[in-house]
Amino acid sequence: MVDVGMTLEMVEASQLGMRALGAALAVGLTGIASGIAEMTIGSAAVGATAENRDVFGLVLLLTVIPETIVIFGLVVALLLLF
Amino acid sequence: MLRPEQMRRLLIAAPKGEIDTIIRELYRHNVYHIEDFVPESESPEALSIGHPLPEASDAASALIKVRAIENACGIDPDNVEVREKLPASKVRAMIRTDLPAILEEVEGLVGSRSRLEARQKEHEQRAKELEPFAAVPLDLELYRGYTRFTVFTGHIAHDVVIDVPHEKYFSDKVDGNMIVVVVQTEHREQVERTLLDVGFQVIPVPEGTGAPADHMRAHADEVQRINGEIAAVNGKIASVCDRHTDFLVACDELLTADVERAEAPLRFATTEETFITEGWVPDDRADRIQEALERATNGRIYIEELEVDDDARVPVEYENPSFASPTQVLMDIYARPRYAELDPTLMVAIVFPIFFGLILGDVGYGAILLALSLGLRKFLKGDEGRMLLKVLSIASISSIIFGILYSEIFGYALPWPALIFSRHLNIGASAGGHGPEITGLMLLAIWIGILHITLGRILGIANARKFHHGRHAKKAIIANAGWIGTMWGILLMIWAFYAIPMMPDLTGFPVAIAVGVVLLVAGILGIAQENPLELVEIPTIISHVLSYARLVAVGLSSVAIAMVVNYIAIGMMIQPQLEAITPIGVIFIIFGVLVLFMGHALNTALGLLGGGLHSLRLHYVEFFTKFYKGGGKKYNPFGMKSKFTEE
């Protein structure tokens, strides 16, 4: 697999690119996952709020719970980049 | 502080003759939380529920009248600013003399308004019926009165060809098209079939004579005129309401109090001659109310202090220093503490703003949120809303302080370098410096997590005695200590294997591994002896600690958005145009300013949500689950703080 024509700079640049790609995947995929999780919670939360206004604070909180997933993704991405 | 207010359980018994005096006295003091009496059996010897006082029905019916007027006027007593307190005796006199007249006036006005609205509807309906006919150049009398002809009028999908002698008008200017066909009556069935084939729908011909368009215009004018009349009536209603608002809210308050007082016996237990009630009074005010009751009844009362046996039955009132009391609203969203357990409000009041500042550490956004929370105080009248705003203003002050430390204002740097960890990302062409200190920030967040969770577990040890008794309490204490041991054991082993900046470097001390292993094993045993199933929760030690990384991650994302907005708006749109101003350049600059404002407005909202919700979540999910149960009953004393009236 090793291409003889590759210089050190090219290797370094492609490593940098791979890191950026990895960071992007980490944020992007976890973002999708959080979105899917929040989708169901969010619709249930809106339903519950329509029934009873008082639960608004609680369901708002339940809605942000899956955000942990994307935050872990963001942490991984930041650690990759810096 | 750290405990809800101490309560005393009182049993009050007195002859029925004193019931009115006692209720009045209890209501005036506004400290007695009545425990509702629930009859145990239906037998005639048992205690039964009392009957409402005789004035109940009068007060209730007057209250219904007042509420009806308030409804018509759209007055909500919670949202009315107090201008002056009216004396209760004057309000009572006015309820007899003025209230019926006001009710009559408002009812009359509301009635005439609904009559006008009905007439307006009718005219609108007529105009709508006439609309299709206005598209046909025929007067209304020409549609009817024939003996040998039949007239078809209605909607149709498209124009048709009719193969008998006829007169036809078609218009596609109205919705659903309009067709009028006049044929001799003997061709009627044939024409009807032709028409029905293309979706003919009959519209009846409106009454009247003359051109339909003139009628329509007349109806529209009438609608306009009635609109004016309705506006005038609305103005009259508003002025009546405005004139009487103070009186109405005072009536509402006074009558609500009367009704509550009159219905209080429904919550008491009674025998033929006496009544008994049980309830709760805060410790520091118990003596005063006992004295007051004895004085008011000349000693014809029996008061006994009962023992508190079950803490779930005790109503809970917070007792916090004034700076922490707004945070109670955040506690109530989760659950009010139980009587016996620790009240963590004070800790939340201190830590929540710090977390908020760590996330949204920006002088600019902090200042906007502070201005917002102070400005909205005028418009938000409810108690809860005001408390939330106070929490927000404390949090935004913390955000400003952290903004100074981070050296951040709207994503730009302040004239000094960051005093703690820098969060300045390298975004945009002019970026320089050494970028953000992600590792440092991350480790800071992890440290906060470790300490916060350890604190939670220590509080868990303190609470264990309150929740459980005897052997189970000891088990719960050991389990909580086990969790602390497991966490610190894992930490010690990590430190012994890897040198991590900002954390103790134990790589040279093999003994640390041994201590770590011992702590870990002892901790796991400690957890397992209470409940072996709890062992599956062990990975949460790591996930909960890592969860505190959001303090950095959410904050950095808001910094990134701010810097990107600045770069797009100023770096890419405004600055290049300023160098040589052209007419198109001015449009670019205006657009750039728009982007700048929109972007920062959006980021403020996101920062508020991110900073607030994530700090709250760290408390609710990571902190409270370690020690807090909640589920206390709200202390709701019998009585009312009068806002609009005075005795």
What are the pLDDT digits (tens) for B569-581?
Answer: 988 888 888 888 8
Distance CA B645, CA B28 (A): 13
Residue B430 — pLDDT band, cuts 50, 70, 90? low
Is pLDDT of B138 > 70? yes
Of the partner residues A65, A75, A78, the one whose CB lies closest to the CB of residue B617:
A65
Q: Which of B181-195, B256-270, B587-601 reaches the highest mean pLDDT?
A: B587-601
Residue B318 — pLDDT band, cuts 50, 70, 90? very high
Answer yes or no: are the C-beta atoms of B314 and B634 closer than 8 Å. no
Note whether B509 and B395 are same-domain residues: yes
Among A27, A54, A68, most B C-beta atoms within 10 A, so best to mutate, is A68
Of the partner residues B435, B439, B553, the one whose CB lies closest to the CB of residue A71:
B553
Three-state SS at B451: helix
Count of positions (residues) in chain A: 82
> What integer pLDDT is reported at residue B524 of this predicted model?
95
Is pLDDT of B368 > 70? yes
Note whether B82 and B1 are same-domain residues: no
Is pLDDT of B599 > 70? yes
Note whether B3 and B146 are same-domain residues: no
User: What six digits make up the tokens of B555?
Assistant: 């904050």
Answer yes or no: are the C-beta atoms of B611 and B366 closer than 8 Å. no
Residue A32 C-alpha, separation from nearest chain B C-alpha, in angstroms: 17
Is pLDDT of B176 > 90? no
Of the partner residues A64, A78, A79, the one whose CB lies closest to the CB of residue B617:
A64
Query: Is B455 a member of any domain?
Result: yes
The Cα-based distances of B450 to A67, B274, B316, B505 in angstroms read 21, 60, 31, 17
Query: Is A36 a member of any domain?
Result: yes
Domain span including residue B81: 61-109+230-258
Nearest chain A residue to B330, by CA = A57
Note whether B440 and B527 are same-domain residues: yes
Among A75, A79, A80, A81, most B C-beta atoms within 10 A, so best to mutate, is A75
Note whether B100 and B27 are same-domain residues: no
The Cα-based distances of B242 to B67, B106, B247, B256, B504 in angstroms read 15, 12, 10, 21, 69
Contacts of A23 (CB under 8 A, 6+ apart): A76, A77, A78, A80, A81
Mean pLDDT in residue range A65-69: 84
Please give the residue that has the higher pLDDT: either A81 or B117: B117
Query: Is A7 a member of any domain?
Result: no
Distance CA B222, CA B227 (A): 8
Is pLDDT of B81 > 90? no
Note whether B535 and B586 are same-domain residues: yes
Is pLDDT of B487 > 60? yes
The Cα-based distances of B506 to B14, B270, B277, B499 in angstroms read 73, 73, 65, 7
Contacts of A18 (CB under 8 A, 6+ apart): none
> What integer pLDDT is reported at residue B432 of this predicted model?
56
Query: Is B56 a member of any domain?
Result: no
Mean pLDDT in residue range B130-141: 85
Query: Is A9 a member of any domain?
Result: no
Answer yes or no: are the C-beta atoms of B485 and B477 closer than 8 Å. no
Contacts of A1 (CB under 8 A, 6+ apart): none
Note whether B179 and B297 are same-domain residues: no
Residue B157 — pLDDT band, cuts 50, 70, 90? confident
Q: Between chains, do B438 and A74 touch, taking CB under 8 Å as contact?
A: no
Q: Which of B37-41, B293-297, B432-436 reaches the highest mean pLDDT?
A: B293-297
Among B331, B392, B438, most A C-beta atoms within 10 A, so best to mutate, is B438
Query: Is B223 a member of any domain?
Result: no
Is pLDDT of B516 > 90? yes
Note whether B251 and B294 are same-domain residues: no
> What integer pLDDT is reported at residue B316 of this predicted model?
92
From chain A, the residues in CB contact with B549 under 8 A are: 71-72, 75
Q: Between chains, do A72 and B436 touch, taking CB under 8 Å as contact?
A: no
Distance CA B312, CA B462 (A): 18
Q: Residue B200 half-sphere exposure, CB side, CA atoms within 13 Å?
A: 18
Q: Between chains, do A65 and B333 touch, taking CB under 8 Å as contact?
A: no
Percent of chain B having pLDDT more than 70? 98
Query: Is B225 a member of any domain?
Result: no
Distance CA B180, CA B282 (A): 84
Query: Is B118 a member of any domain?
Result: no
> What integer pLDDT is reported at residue B86 of this predicted model?
82
ipTM here: 0.76
Query: Is A17 a member of any domain?
Result: no
Three-state SS at B486: helix
- Does A82 touch chain B if contact means CB atoms closer than 8 Å? yes
What phi-psi label fits residue B164: left (phi over 0), alpha (psi between -120 and 50 degrees) or beta? beta
In chain A, the number of structural domains is: 1
Of the partner residues B546, B554, B613, the one whose CB lies closest to the CB of residue A61:
B613
Is pLDDT of B589 > 70? yes
Residue B434 — pLDDT band, cuts 50, 70, 90? low
Beta bridge partners of B151: B182
Answer yes or no: are the C-beta atoms of B331 and B337 closer than 8 Å. yes
Distance CA B336, CA B314 (A): 12
Query: Is A2 a member of any domain?
Result: no
DSSP letter at B87 equals E
Residue B428 — pLDDT band, cuts 50, 70, 90? low
Gap between the terminal Cα atoms of chain A: 29
Note whether B69 and B171 are same-domain residues: no
Residue B67's CB is within 10 A of a number of other CB atoms, namely 17
The closest alpha carbon to B418, from B396, B441, B395, B397, belongs to B441
Of the partner residues B549, B614, B620, the one whose CB lies closest to the CB of residue A75:
B549
Mean pLDDT in residue range B237-258: 87
> What integer pLDDT is reported at residue B496 of this predicted model?
92
User: What six digits make up the tokens of B191?
Assistant: 């024409």
Distance CA B494, CA B38 (A): 59
Query: Is B317 a member of any domain?
Result: yes
- Binding-face residues of B in 437-456 toward A, CB within 8 A: 438-439, 442
**CATH number, domain at B8?**
3.30.70.120
Q: Between chains, do A72 and B549 touch, taking CB under 8 Å as contact?
A: yes
From chain B, the residues in CB contact with A34 under 8 A are: none
Contacts of B491 (CB under 8 A, 6+ apart): B450, B516
Domain span including residue A62: 25-81
Distance CA B323, CA B616 (A): 18
Among A61, A69, A76, A79, most B C-beta atoms within 10 A, so best to mutate, is A61
> What integer pLDDT is reported at residue B528 of this predicted model?
93
- Does B630 touch chain A if contact means CB atoms closer than 8 Å? no
Percent of chain B having pLDDT more than 90? 35
pLDDT digits 0-9 by tens, B462-479 = 988 887 878 888 999 999
Q: Residue B32 half-sphere exposure, CB side, CA atoms within 13 Å?
A: 27
Three-state SS at B281: strand
DSSP letter at A4 equals T
Note whether B65 and B25 are same-domain residues: no
Is pLDDT of A64 > 70? yes
Residue B605 C-alpha, separation from nearest chain A C-alpha, in angstroms: 15
From chain B, the residues in CB contact with A64 under 8 A are: 613-614, 617
pLDDT digits 0-9 by tens, B393-421 = 999 999 999 999 999 999 888 888 888 88
CB pairs under 8 A between A and B: 45
In chain B, the number of structural domains is: 4
Note whether B137 and B4 are same-domain residues: no
Query: Is B382 a member of any domain?
Result: yes
Distance CA B348, CA B366 (A): 20
> What integer pLDDT is reported at residue B355 of this predicted model?
96
User: What six digits make up the tokens of A40?
Assistant: 């169901």
Contacts of B121 (CB under 8 A, 6+ apart): none
Residue A66 C-alpha, separation from nearest chain B C-alpha, in angstroms: 11
Comparing A73-77, B44-48, B365-369, the range with the smallest average pLDDT is B44-48
Distance CA B330, CA A57 (A): 9
Count of positions (residues) in chain B: 647
Query: Is B120 a member of any domain?
Result: no
From chain B, the residues in CB contact with A82 under 8 A are: 435-436, 438-439
Answer yes or no: are the C-beta atoms of B279 and B13 closer than 8 Å. no
Is pLDDT of B643 > 90? no
Note whether B360 and B415 are same-domain residues: yes
